[in-house]
Structure 1
């Protein structure tokens, strides 16, 4: 074994020592025991995500591992599994807000700054929990990233002001909205931003060019969507920066 090979082997061992593997954490709440996938990190930022995917997300796990390697700890609670619910939108209504706030409380016990993140209809969980958390005068969470939020109560009628779920407009935390440039929902970003700001939330919105909503979950992803999926960790870190986070 030559010197170059030995040096490479040592570097790989050092890198492996700094990368912490995913661990499973169980959080007991009054309504259910929730299994949380934790991607530990040494930094001061914790990203609490609600994929509602029955623990089967692939792109999200890769992104979480990449963020962990960059010093951002990631928690992914399996809300559907905890309540034995099917992966359908109507299941969200069966997830108690108190269970979500219990997980937020557990995350804040780490002493890290906690940011919430979710995509699609799952963003309603984030807003609902954040609203109750603030109403109970707890230590505030640092902000929220809402990716491709689907927060309409019903299918919007062209030409009419859309009606949003009740949780919209009831928070005071910094919010980052991300939407795909190839989805009609991008045209509703300003309206949604205005609604979210009604109780004092500071809202920033950005359109991701050349991608559709849920691009990282699609089987028919195009080249642009594949590229953005591979750079999701960077996209989230930029979003945290827009929310005022400087320790990343």
Structure 2
């Protein structure tokens, strides 16, 4: 490696370090801004469960430190979720100089779409899925049982669901990238649709709690998003072919 190549490589490493530090600082700044409201944030996230609990039932803490650490941990994850646009901006700033102009025009909408879809997945989970799941689970138990969910267990439960739905809603973006890079085609995905349907339910089984209701509520949107991704990828492929023909 020549001296100029070595200096260029070191320069990229320095830039990568600086952008990672900026991304971490963005999470820290948001966290410090929200930590005072940690209990309010937890109360907001726990509201679907509280509304589903039987009369006079409450959440409990089985660990002495749980009343402090559960809201604290949730606030940290919320800060990470809220910082995703800035984190992806740093990723884009690092990758953009090495991209061609047509690649930038392609990737910028995908980057913005990935942010919107991730938040849409979390919102869908909170406003649609959680009330259904929690209402079902709190209603099917034996009548002699007193339901008192642990705040730490509930936190682990909702974080897993938020992450699962946020990632699942990225399916259209993933399909666009796969078709754009030439790894697959829309026709190939259509031909493999039966296998993908089975695979989606298997993935939903691992991403959600071990119950059929949660798996179905995740799998069905994933299948709809898969179909949306095929349609969007098909539209983009036609536009790309037209642009190539015009260029020729």
Which structure carries more strand by proportion? 1
Question: Into which bin does the TM-score normalised by the smaller protein fall?
Answer: under 0.3
TM-score by length of 2: 0.26
Which structure carries more helix by proportion? 2
TM-score by length of 1: 0.26
- Ranked by relative contact order (alpha carbons within 8 Å, sequence separation 6 or more), the top structure is 2
